[in-house]
Structure 1
Amino acid sequence: MERRIPGIIGFDLPIGRLEAKFKMGQDERHYDTGGAIRVLEQNDPALATMMKAHNAHRQD
């Protein structure tokens, strides 16, 4: 680590654009997503509601 520190250079980078995606379990098995939603209903109901909405179309 000490030999690498001299080669590290700090810099500022202005943000020109920011893109974000919601990953609410759509790519996971429906069984696993359902389990996460059930736990979140007890701990974070708002997030559980959002996950339900993002997965409502799923038929699997």
Structure 2
Amino acid sequence: MPRSNTSLEAWHKSFSQDIASHPCVNELIKNFIIEQHAVECRLEEIKSGVIFQKDKRKIDSDD
């Protein structure tokens, strides 16, 4: 479980670093399509049983 509800903020920061400051509509849609594909790939990995290791610093702070 996440320690806070800032998952959306983390996604937004990551997404905004990948695109220009004020992209045109077509560029923004293109980036949303790329992001959707990445999410679908990650979901397939999770469904297939891939286990993602948690960062040691996160484990320590959870404890």
Tell me the TM-score normalized by structure 1. Answer: 0.30
TM-score normalised to structure 2 length: 0.29
Higher helix share: 2
Larger gyration radius, structure 1 or structure 2: 1
